[in-house]
């Protein structure tokens, strides 16, 4: 007799049929008693229409559990089989109840479900024909991270049960008789509720389920669908994930991150209410992995989601660097400010050596001046004629003008403490410290004449630096109000708000009307023409001896070069992003 294994456990599903005139089987009731009064009588045919003689048949109570022998203590595990006679007939005496009938022979298999057997009666189910077995394929789905091989698939009222073939829950049930089966899915893991459903099998073919069998999770859900959207210009990582539809009610989410080479995750944000989170704290050229956990209403945290990774790209690429701490010409000890002329020569004030150093566009030292005339040089700017203007920090109100040969040409004194200044054509614009009313910008001729307050400037709470931009516009950093003011040649003003607690220590015009500012001495920030944040670059990665940066400027003849002056040297960057 041919055997038809079911799934990988190779368990035969055969109907409980009772013999007629041949070795009648003992079939036990749900209560465990044997009455022997009701009977079932029917006939089976082979596919060609001949009687199906010697077909093996079985009866199973419709709630029979094939794995344990029953779904209740009263249901025993023993169901005996029998065979049809030479004419394909069978007759069986059964206890009252509902049964599934399965039969098999070399000609095929057959299944009839829910045959009701009543006391003191003979039931005559319709004759049936053996057919080629079929198969059904599908997937059992658990929470992310749970092994679906812990699932159990029970075909109730048969002797068939099994488990998925892999950790993602794929299963195939083969050699099944055609029909519709009551199936129960469950798992040996905690916090899952069983799922009851019906599955249909078609003779002679393999049917695939149109949807996954999802077991209802009753614990804290595991976040699924975590994905990354990385804005390369703004260098912002945005995480999104699916809102759980199973498990306990979620009150919020915790966000975890680690560098790829790190052994452990760190919490970067707790109590996120939405299913989206943006992170702008990544360091360029590092790869990060993110994971998310759900937290229930009791404050209990679930397990971490599957991780997603992203590499933070740099907005700039380092072109060359000058190391001021090395031995050689052009070394400086206490840099304070930097400026660039129309030939892209770099001017650096060195308070330690009380002089101004000049480098060419390739950061090669050219010359120095002012060692005999400067007390302590502070801020510096250069006009279109190549004259350098230097603020002395001893008085902090006198600006000396030097010719390209390094000879003092003139001096201008302002009333008040000068924080910073810039040259605009034939005028000097100075950021002057005020009283409780705030700071101000004063404009004067290069010889100090016609000095007056610049119009268009909003109140400056605590000014720090001033720079010239495109089209004769000027920028003023107001760290007291955490903003940057832009005033164009017509006196029109625009305010760019900054992130609270971020202080600007340098400003420079960038490419395509961008603005570059030096935040807190260790980051370059890029803003667009509307003041929107675009990108940032951490500077310490490029410094041989990390330290505070003091000034930033862009090349006059190129939109693609930015210089940064820091404690131990000068860095020259080119734009990496378009």
What structural domains does the chain harbor? 7-129 (2.60.40.10), 134-217 (2.60.40.1120), 227-311 (2.60.40.10), 332-513 (2.120.10.30)
Q: Do residues 92 and 36 lie in contact, with contact meaning Cβ atoms separated by under 8 Å?
A: no
Q: Do residues 117 and 62 lie in contact, with contact meaning Cβ atoms separated by under 8 Å?
A: no
Hey, what are 386's tokens? Answer: 């190549």
- 269-323, pLDDT tens digit by residue? 999 999 999 998 888 778 999 999 999 999 999 999 999 999 988 888 899 999 9
47 has a pLDDT exceeding 90: yes
The chain-wide mean pLDDT, for the chain, equals 86
User: In the structure, what pLDDT confidence band is assigned to residue 481 with cuts at 50, 70 and 90?
Assistant: confident
β partners of residue 231: 236
pTM score above 0.85: no
* Cα–Cα distance, 210 to 531 (Å, whole number): 52
493 has a pLDDT exceeding 90: no
Alpha carbon separation from 12 to 24, 61, 104, 130, 205 (Å, rounded) = 20, 16, 9, 15, 18
User: In the structure, what pLDDT confidence band is assigned to residue 436 with cuts at 50, 70 and 90?
Assistant: low
- Residue predicted with more confidence, 94 or 153: 153
* Mean per-residue pLDDT, 486-496: 79
- Dihedral pair phi/psi, residue 9, rounded to 5°: -85, -10
Query: Token match 């360091």: residue?
Result: 283
Q: What is the pLDDT of residue 51?
A: 96
Q: What is the pLDDT of residue 500?
A: 65
CA dihedral 359, 365, 370, 371 (to 10 degrees): 150
* Cα–Cα distance, 61 to 48 (Å, whole number): 30
* Mean per-residue pLDDT, 416-423: 92
170 has a pLDDT exceeding 60: yes
- 181-226, pLDDT tens digit by residue? 999 999 999 899 999 999 999 999 999 999 999 999 999 999 999 9
DSSP letter for each residue of 437-488: T-BEEEEEETTS-S-EEPTTPPPBSSEEEEEE-GGG-EEEEETTTTEEEEE-
Q: What is the pLDDT of residue 8?
A: 35
Q: Do residues 548 and 566 lie in contact, with contact meaning Cβ atoms separated by under 8 Å?
A: yes
Among 119-123, 130-134, 450-454, the range with the most confident prediction by mean pLDDT is 130-134
Q: What is the pLDDT of residue 28?
A: 37
What is the chain's length? 578
* Cα–Cα distance, 234 to 484 (Å, whole number): 19
71 has a pLDDT exceeding 60: no
Share of the chain above pLDDT 90, in %: 57
Q: What is the pLDDT of residue 31?
A: 34
- Residue predicted with more confidence, 2 or 494: 494
* Mean per-residue pLDDT, 62-86: 72
Q: Do residues 75 and 61 lie in contact, with contact meaning Cβ atoms separated by under 8 Å?
A: yes
């Amino acid at each position: 007799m041919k055997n038809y294994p079911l799934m990988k456990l190779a368990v035969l599903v055969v109907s409980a049929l009772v013999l007629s005139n041949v070795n009648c089987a003992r079939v036990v009731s749900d209560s465990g008693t044997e009455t022997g009064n009701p009977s079932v009588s029917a006939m089976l045919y082979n596919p060609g229409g001949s009687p199906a003689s010697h077909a093996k048949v079985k009866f199973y109570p419709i709630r029979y559990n094939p794995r344990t022998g029953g779904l209740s203590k009263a249901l025993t595990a023993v169901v005996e089989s029998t065979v049809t006679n030479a004419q394909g007939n069978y007759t069986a005496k059964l206890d009252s109840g509902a049964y599934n009938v399965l039969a098999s022979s070399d000609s095929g298999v057959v299944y009839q479900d829910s045959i009701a057997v009543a006391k003191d009666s003979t039931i005559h189910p319709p004759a049936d024909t053996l057919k080629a077995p079929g198969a059904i394929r599908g997937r059992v789905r658990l929470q992310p991270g749970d092994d679906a091989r812990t699932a159990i698939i029970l075909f109730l009222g048969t002797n068939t049960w099994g488990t998925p073939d892999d950790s993602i829950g794929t299963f195939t049930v083969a050699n099944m008789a055609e029909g519709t089966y009551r199936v129960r899915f469950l798992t040996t893991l905690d916090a899952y509720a069983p799922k009851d459903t019906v599955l249909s099998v078609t003779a002679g073919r393999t049917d695939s389920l149109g949807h996954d069998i999802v077991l209802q999770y009753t614990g804290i859900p595991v976040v699924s669908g975590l994905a990354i959207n990385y804005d390369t210009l703004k260098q912002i990582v945005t995480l999104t994930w699916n809102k759980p539809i199973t498990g306990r009610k979620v009150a919020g989410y915790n966000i975890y991150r680690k560098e790829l080479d790190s052994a452990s995750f760190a919490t970067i944000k707790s109590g996120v209410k939405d299913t989206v989170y943006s992170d702008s704290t990544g360091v360029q050229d590092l790869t990060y992995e993110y994971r998310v956990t759900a937290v229930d209403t009791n404050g209990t945290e679930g397990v971490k989601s599957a991780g997603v990774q992203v590499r933070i790209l740099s907005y700039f690429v380092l072109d060359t660097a000058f190391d001021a701490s090395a031995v050689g010409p052009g070394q400086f000890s206490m840099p304070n400010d930097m400026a660039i002329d129309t030939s892209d020569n770099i001017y650096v004030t060195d308070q330690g050596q009380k002089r101004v150093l000049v480098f060419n566009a390739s950061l090669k030292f050219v010359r120095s001046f002012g060692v005999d005339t400067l007390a302590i040089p502070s801020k510096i700017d250069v006009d279109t004629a190549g004259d350098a203007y230097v603020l002395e920090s001893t008085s902090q109100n006198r600006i000396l003008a030097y010719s390209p040969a390094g000879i003092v040409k003139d001096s201008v004194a302002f009333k008040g403490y000068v924080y910073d200044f810039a040259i605009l054509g034939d005028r000097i614009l100075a950021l002057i410290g005020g009283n409780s009313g705030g700071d101000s910008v004063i404009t004067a001729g290069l010889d100090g004449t016609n000095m007056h307050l610049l119009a268009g400037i909003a109140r400056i709470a605590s000014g720090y630096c001033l720079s010239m931009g495109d089209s004769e516009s000027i920028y003023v950093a107001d760290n007291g109000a955490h903003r940057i003011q832009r005033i164009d040649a017509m006196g029109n003003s625009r305010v760019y708000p900054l992130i609270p607690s971020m202080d600007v220590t340098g400003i420079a015009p960038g490419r395509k009307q961008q603005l570059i500012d030096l935040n807190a001495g260790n980051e370059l920030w890029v803003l667009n023409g509307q003041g929107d944040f675009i990108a940032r670059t951490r500077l310490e990665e490029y410094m041989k001896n990390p330290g505070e940066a003091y000034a930033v400027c862009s090349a006059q003849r190129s939109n693609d070069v930015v210089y940064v002056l820091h404690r131990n040297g000068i860095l020259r960057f080119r734009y990496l992003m378009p």
